[in-house]
Amino acid sequence: MDEVLLQEILVQSMKLAIMIAGPILGSGMIVGLFIAILQATTSIQEQTLTFVPKIFAIALAIVIFGPWIVTNMTDFAQMIFELIPLMGQPG
């Protein structure tokens, strides 16, 4: 296995990790920002107020993007398993 193939696998795995985490983290951040603005305008300073809406937003994002995430992860895993025979060959 040469270094170029290894670097390509590393880049693809990092892109996949960002793509998978993006919708979930993004939904949590958007809801958190909305709740923070709401708390600032109403002067409600309850720390636990942001927790429940974020949990619901993240759970909803997982339900919505779950099939897409599983498909991408399955495709990547299949690609890695197809590359296993190449890993044992020299240079």
Tens place of pLDDT per residue across the chain (91 aa) = 678 888 999 999 999 999 999 999 999 999 999 999 998 898 888 878 888 999 999 999 999 999 999 999 999 999 999 988 877 777 6
Q: At a CB cut-off of 8 Å and minimum separation 6, what does 91 contact? A: 2
Distance of CA 65 to the CA centre of its chain: 10
pLDDT value of residue 43: 85
Supply the pLDDT for residue 91: 60
Q: Are 20 and 73 in contact (CB under 8 A)?
A: yes
Query: Cα separations (Å) of 84 from 5, 80, 88?
Result: 12, 7, 7
pLDDT of residue 57: 95
